[in-house]
Structure 1
């Protein structure tokens, strides 16, 4: 099993370039402490207008180019309501841009303290239904490591979780119809 300890590692970045058909992300945290977003998150909290967010814009461009080449990008985020400040930021400053670029972003909304049956509290990427990348974070959302595995049983389990998460979720665009009200809830 390969372990990567930096999101800037070329081995991690190459995953998004080299997959052939599909990339799926399950997000389960309500806060992520990602260095490239820190300044933008602080601007969001201060009520400033959205500028270009380089980390998000770069990913959106990869999505746009990938979808033009026939690749699919899917993401499901289990979001606890009322939404955390970070999830509000991610939805407004990230999801809207990546959806416009072609990513199928979906959410499973739950009340705080509840969790959907059959969905692990585990963040991961799944590439081409063949490579599992488990994303490990500290309690405060700080990225610790990514563990890559092609072990068939682990990948098969991640595929089942993906399919179940997709079945339980709703498109972000549907969820966002009431989003202005959700943005005010705390």
Structure 2
């Protein structure tokens, strides 16, 4: 839901992206390995990123990086913020549509951790929001083409 995240481990890759320099994304390799293994075992990884238009440099970088996670088996889609309607302004993960983890960040968008939510009504609401966002979102490759990102 944020247009920027404070992720120091990404800083050098973001700098290279903005400078048009090649990068092998060393900080992302363990995630890609995990997604590949999970996808090979039949697990599904999908997410919707809500973004402001025009994209921030960080969001453009994220769209570019998503080509690699997509290649590993993750389906990432994009939803412009002005089309997000009543979606909650929070980041969260759903696992098997049954386990909800709300992600927490400080004012500088540094990740602070996640809270496991077990309330069934709250989980159902987040499943609804996920499905509503998914229905409106654009596949990564289509969105990247619309935004002029390779």
TM above 0.5, yes or no, is yes
2:57 corresponding residue in structure 1: 85
User: Is 1:46 the equivalent of 2:19?
Assistant: yes
Is there any run of 5+ residues in structure 2 with no aligned partner, and where? none
Q: From 64, 71, 74, give the equivalent of 1:100.
A: 71
Query: 1:131 is matched with which residue?
Result: 99
1:36-75 alignment, distance < 5 Å = 36-49=9-22, 51-75=23-47
How far does residue 46 in structure 1 lie from its aligned partner after superposition?
3.1
Looking at structure 1, the residues matched to 95 and 40 of structure 2 have their Cα atoms a distance apart, in angstroms, of 18
Larger RCO (CA within 8 A; separation ≥ 6): 1
> 2:144 & 2:128 partners in 1: Cα distance?
27
| Residue of 121, 136, 153 corresponding to 2:89 | 121
Q: Structure 2 CA distance, aligned partners of 1:118 and 1:73?
A: 24
Task: Give 1:161's aligned residue.
Answer: 129
In structure 1, list runs of 5 or more residues that go unmatched. Answer: 1-27
- Separation of aligned partners in 2, 1:152 and 1:31: 31
Residue deviations 1:39-71 (CA, integer Å, cap 9, x gap): 22222233322x221232221221111111000
**What SS does structure 2 have at the residue aligned with 1:119?**
coil
Deviation per residue, 1:120-154 (Å, 9 max, x gap) = 11100110111111111123321122111222122
CA drift at 1:115: 5.5
Q: Indicate the residue corresponding to 1:152 in structure 2.
A: 120
What RMSD in Å do the two structures reach over aligned CA positions?
Answer: 1.7
| 8 Å Cα contact 1:31-1:140 kept in structure 2 | no
Matched residues in 2 for 1:34 and 1:115: separation? 27
Q: Distance in 2 between matches of 1:139 and 1:168?
A: 29
